[in-house]
Each structure stands twice: as C-alpha cells, then as structure tokens.
C-alpha cells in the first residue's frame, strides 16, 4: 500500500525527547497540537478541531530537532501517518496514530532563524547566533540492547517496550530515500 505524505502544522506541547537505541540509531519524539481557528459571530477568535499527534524523527533529523526545537514553538512536520499497535501490560490491545517525519521546520510566520549545515557552516542571518554545526545532543535516554531487540512476528515489525509488543500496521518499509540505515519502520520502545 502506498504511503501518502502528510503535513501537520502545530505547536510543540513539550520538550523533544531523544533516545539512542542499542544499534546506535537515534529517535526524537515530540507531540504537536494543531487546531483550526475562526472568528465567531462576535468577531472573537475561536479554536476547534483539536489534534494532538506524536511525531517521530530518526538519526540526523532527530539530532537536529533536539538541538533546535523547544516547547511551544510553531512547527511544520512532513512525513507519513502510521498506526502503532501493541499489547499493554494488562494484555489489552492499544493503538496510536503517529507521524514518522521526513522533514521538520519552524513556521516562518513567527520566527526568524539562522542555519548551519550538519558538517560545515551554512548561511546566517546578521545578528542571529548560529548553532554549532558539530552539535550532537546527548540522548535523554539510552535503550539497553535487551529492550531494543527487534523481532519479526507475522510479517509485522515489533520492538519490545517492556510493557508488551509494539508494531506498526500499514507501515511496511518503502525502500525510498526517506528510510535510513538501521531504522526500518520500527516504533522505538518509548
């Protein structure tokens, strides 16, 4: 089944959480809150259609997101929507829809930013401090190899989280450029 890209614009609800898996891959996870605003009959702004979604980023994108974003920032995230299913510690089936991001950026309607390439200095805006391009943030958590082992069960990829099995439905490896070595479409054991 083809994976259709989705773009979500919203604000970070908390800080970015960065994990390093036993195989060296890094995964950043954050939550976005998005809604639709309109003016009511009294000309006051109202919000409706609230959406809260978890966003996962892998490897270099994960490092860049951790180094660049903070709670409350307006963000655009582009990726594919996936359904994460697992059995919780009580034996009940759980589901979560998440966005596996290929691209993440600040909403430029409210921010002026500077930039730096991953390996060398990039273009800067005068008066705006440039981040160190060698910045490699420390992970918030390192997953021991016993928790990060990946098992294949019934064709679905799963990763243990200590509270049951997790796997993605409708999230087969597409083989496209967006897949990074060592990541596949596994849900990190958060």
pLDDT score at 61 = 92
CATH architecture of the domain 5-169 equals Beta Barrel (2.40)
Q: Where are the domains of the chain?
A: 5-169
pLDDT in tens, 160-177: 333 343 333 333 333 333
**Which phi and psi angles does 166 have, rounded to 5°?**
-120, 145
Instruction: Indicate the DSSP class of residue 66.
Output: H
Radius of gyration of the chain (CA): 18
71-80, 119-128, 156-165, 175-184: range with highest mean pLDDT:
71-80
Helix (H) and strand (E) counts in the chain? 2, 10
Q: How many residues are given for the chain?
A: 190
Instruction: Look up residue 129 and give its two tokens.
Output: 């401090």
If you average pLDDT over residues 136-155, what whole number do you get? 58
pLDDT score at 139 = 81
Is the pLDDT at 49 greater than 50? The verdict is yes
Burial (Cβ within 10 Å: 0-12, 13-18, ≥19) of residue 164 = middle
pLDDT score at 117 = 66
42-46, 129-133, 177-181: range with highest mean pLDDT:
42-46
pLDDT in tens, 12-41: 999 999 999 999 899 999 999 999 889 999
pLDDT score at 127 = 58
Residue 158 vs residue 112, higher pLDDT? 112
In percent, how much of the chain has pLDDT > 70? 64
Is the pLDDT at 88 greater than 60? The verdict is yes
pLDDT score at 1 = 61
If you average pLDDT over residues 133-146, what whole number do you get? 71
In percent, how much of the chain has pLDDT > 90? 43
Q: What's the pLDDT band for 138 if we cut at 50, 70, 90?
A: confident
**Which phi and psi angles does 124 have, rounded to 5°?**
-125, 160
Instruction: Look up residue 15 and give its two tokens.
Output: 């800080």
pLDDT score at 76 = 95
pLDDT score at 74 = 93
pLDDT score at 142 = 84
């Amino acid at each position: 089944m083809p994976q259709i890209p989705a773009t979500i614009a919203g604000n970070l609800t908390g800080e970015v959480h960065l994990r390093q898996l036993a195989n060296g891959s890094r995964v950043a996870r954050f939550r976005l809150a998005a809604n639709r605003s309109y003016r009511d009959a009294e000309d006051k702004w109202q919000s409706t259609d609230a959406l809260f979604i978890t966003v996962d980023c892998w490897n270099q994108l994960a490092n860049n997101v951790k180094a660049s974003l903070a709670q409350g920032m307006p963000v655009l995230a582009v990726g594919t929507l996936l359904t994460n299913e697992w059995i919780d510690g009580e034996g009940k089936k759980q589901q979560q829809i998440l966005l596996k991001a290929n691209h993440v950026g600040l909403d430029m309607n409210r921010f002026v930013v500077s930039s730096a390439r991953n390996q060398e200095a990039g273009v800067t805006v005068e008066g705006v401090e440039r981040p160190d391009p060698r910045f490699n943030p420390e992970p918030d958590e390192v997953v021991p190899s016993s928790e990060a082992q990946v098992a294949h069960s019934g064709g679905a990829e799963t990763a243990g989280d200590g509270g049951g099995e997790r796997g993605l439905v409708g999230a087969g490896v597409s083989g496209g450029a967006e897949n990074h070595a060592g990541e596949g479409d596994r849900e990190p054991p958060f």
